[in-house]
A and B are shown apart, each in its own frame.
Chain A
Amino acid sequence: MSLDYRSLSWRLALICVVTVVFQVAAVSQVKVLGVNADLVPLVAASVGLILGSLPGAIFGFALGMLLDLALVETVGVASLILLGIGYAAGRLRELRDPQGAIVPLLVGAGATAAAQVGFLLLTFLLGQKVPLGWSLVWDLLGTVAFNAVIAIPLYLLVRRCLIAALPQDPRRRRRRAYTTGGLSPLSKS
């Protein structure tokens, strides 16, 4: 079964746009206990986990760029952070190939924490005011917890969107050693 690059590109572009629109128009406006979910790092990490480090990094960069442009925020900040998240999630898959059902949850929580701390650090480094305080800690931890809850269903949704364009069904793949050369499902094509 060969890789359909065109189909995969369209699917990734669609996921990118839908994620940003859904995040900005709906998810950001729904707060539970004062915090809201952040789909963006979850989706970047999911794509990295499914497709590998290189597509994960490229997708994260594009997603971040669209987010910065759509929200009229400092261009390059979200791109930098999300490309790191996509790449790291992809490398985890390539090096460890984790199979547990809880992996998307842990990766999602880690990606969210990395994104939140990354935004905080970059905002600080860029000389903008950083609202340090307990409310920020609560917001960070709350968002990580909220995202951990929705990480698995979101991962399954992203995988469902991409699975038809992949050369093999990731559900059937076997654990491979790092030395076998399988960097990502895309390298199989």
Chain B
Amino acid sequence: MYDRTIRRRRLTLAALLACSLLLLTVYFGESTGGALHNVQRGVFSVFAPIQEGASTVLKPARDLFGWFGDTIDAKGRVAELESSNQSLRTRAIAGSEAIRINGQLEALLNLDKAGGLALAKPVTARVIGQSPTALYSTVTINQGSDTGIKTGNPVINGYGLIGQVSTVTAHAAIVTLISDGELAVPARISAGGAQGIAQTGAGGPDDLRLKFIARRYRVDPGAAVVTAGTLSTTPGLESLYPPGIPIGSVTRVVDPGTDAQKIYLRTYADLQKLELVQVLTSAVRGNRP
């Protein structure tokens, strides 16, 4: 009896292990239209409304715990903010230069005016889920293909670009955030016009970089980085991102003026606190500047 129990336990464990490995193999081997992917989309379609309902119901509890988290975070940042406040006050007194830069940033952040994004048929959506691990930088939104959302559509919030739609079902979609290393966005320095690729580096979600900037361009910390739009004149090579969407600002430059220069960015959007986003469902003039 005891031996039989042990044998049954081992057999079941082996079967489950084999099943997991088989699923992994099949999932990687098939195309995105394969059976397993279809089942996954089906389950996601069923799950998304439940997730949306739960997200709404649990919002007060989330806000309450979020408040505790924010309070702890805020206490930890008091010294940093005091120093920052002093610096900002000095800059404000300095006068016109700060006001001019501030005006430029405000103009950049005012997406509708600066980018004419109303023509890109934006669809407003609410974030209803977020991946629990740092390895998957995705959020789930409550709008899908029935409102015109397609895979590859850029996604923004009030501060700038946050990512791109990677999976769509009828009523929900998964957005891969710009903090995911798989995403590469054609970008340029707003002031100087230097063009490159914004992509998260090997250091993880906080390691967003602007790559492939020629050494002849001087890039200073604080410079605003925006999407470059379509640079190629060849048909079929249009960028997914309209030009002029703010991405972030340069935080530091390592080895400036060399071929190995590394330009680090910080996104304008706080990717850990996303609530309302807009999906740009249509490209205007092939996303050319």
Q: Which residues of B contact A187 (CB under 8 A)?
A: 5
From B54, B129, B135, A130 is in contact (CB under 8 Å) with B135
A70 partner residues in chain B, CB cutoff 8 A:
43-44, 47, 51
B213-253 residues with Cβ-Cβ distance < 8 A to A are none
Q: Mark B64-82, 1 if CB is under 8 A from A, else 0.
A: 0110110011001000000
B24-A75 in contact (CB<8A): yes
Q: Chain B residues near A126: list those with CB within 8 A.
A: 24, 28
A23 to B21, CA, bound (A): 25
Determine how close the nearest CB of chain B comes to the CB of A121; give it in whole angstroms. 11
Chain B nearest CB from A48 CB (Å) reads 12
Q: Is B132 an interface residue (CB 8 A)?
A: yes
Pairwise interchain contact A69-B43, C-beta atoms closer than 8 A: yes
Q: Verify A133–B203 contact, CB threshold 8 A.
A: yes
Selected contact of A129 from candidates B39, B51, B181, B206, CB within 8 Å: B181
User: With an 8 A cutoff between CB atoms, is A97 at the interface?
Assistant: no
| In the complex, A103 has a CB within 8 A of chain B | no
Is B202 on the interface with A (CB-CB < 8 A)? Answer: yes
| Interchain CB contact under 8 A, A132 and B203 | yes
Q: Roughly how many angstroms separate A168 CA and B133 CA in the complex, as a whole number? A: 36
Contacts known (A72-B40, A76-B24, A79-B23); A24 close to B132, Cβ less than 8 A: yes
Binding site for B on A (CB under 8 A): 21-34, 36, 38, 40, 53-54, 57-58, 61, 64-66, 68-77, 79-80, 83, 87, 116, 119-120, 123, 126, 128-136, 139-140, 181, 183, 187
For the A-B complex with A69-B39, A119-B135, A183-B6 known, give 14 more contacts whose Cβ atoms are closer than 8 Å.
A25-B51, A26-B54, A29-B129, A33-B73, A38-B132, A54-B13, A68-B40, A71-B129, A74-B24, A79-B20, A123-B135, A130-B135, A135-B203, A183-B5
26 interchain pairs (CB within 8 A)?
A21-B54, A22-B54, A24-B51, A26-B54, A26-B61, A29-B127, A31-B66, A33-B73, A40-B132, A54-B9, A57-B13, A58-B12, A66-B43, A69-B43, A74-B27, A75-B23, A75-B27, A76-B20, A83-B16, A83-B20, A119-B135, A129-B180, A130-B135, A131-B205, A133-B204, A135-B206
Chain B positions within 8 Å of A, measured between CB atoms, are 1-2, 5-6, 8-9, 12-13, 16-17, 19-25, 27-28, 36, 39-41, 43-44, 47, 50-51, 54-55, 58, 61-62, 65-66, 68-69, 72-73, 76, 127-136, 138, 140, 167, 174, 180-182, 200, 202-207, 272
